[in-house]
Amino acid sequence: MTWIKENYFLTIFVACSIAFIMFIIISNSFSTNESLHINIEQGDSLWELANEYGVKEDKKVWINKVIAMNNLQDGHIKAGEMLKIPVEEKSYHFNHETEIAGDPK
């Protein structure tokens, strides 16, 4: 205990460093940017997959991401291939606005 009192600056520095590292770890765990692997079936096209999996994103942007993720040279896919596709990024940031009872949303 006397060591802590004598070296209070070092103790505060270590405590702040630990708090900062914990903040970084927690921040990264609440934001995901994942991908999904799907098996291409006969008749599948990138445009159909964009309609099925690229929900909120522009179809051309989604297709370009898939082409880049899978190193597709010509943009053609074949039945039986495993394709890596982007999954919608989920972010768990909380809305800290004050809401007063009776206010319309």
Residue ranges of domains in the chain: 1-31, 34-87
Per-residue model confidence (pLDDT) at position 91: 52
Long-range contacts of 44-50 (CB under 8 A, 24+ apart): 44/77, 44/79, 45/77, 46/75, 46/77, 49/83, 49/85
State the CATH class of domain 34-87: alpha beta
pLDDT tens digit sequence for 8-50? 888 889 999 999 898 887 776 554 556 788 999 999 988 888 8
